[in-house]
Amino acid sequence: MGGYGAYVWTCYALGAGVLVVCEWRARLRHRRVYREIEVRIKALGDNQ
């Protein structure tokens, strides 16, 4: 890589890290929204 290997692999690692963090946060948000929807549906059922 002509002496630039450290920079190239560091960029690959940072890119992979960003993708992992994005996926992790999306899963957390999905779970949180899903729980909120369940609570709202349960509240609607209790009111009837």
Distance, in Å, from the CA atom of 18 to the CA atom of 8, rounded to the nearest integer, reads: 15
pLDDT at 41 over 90: yes
The reported pLDDT for the residue numbered 45 is 86
Average pLDDT over residues 14-33: 98
The reported pLDDT for the residue numbered 15 is 98
Q: For the whole model, what pTM was predicted? A: 0.70
Mean pLDDT estimate for the chain: 94
The reported pLDDT for the residue numbered 46 is 81
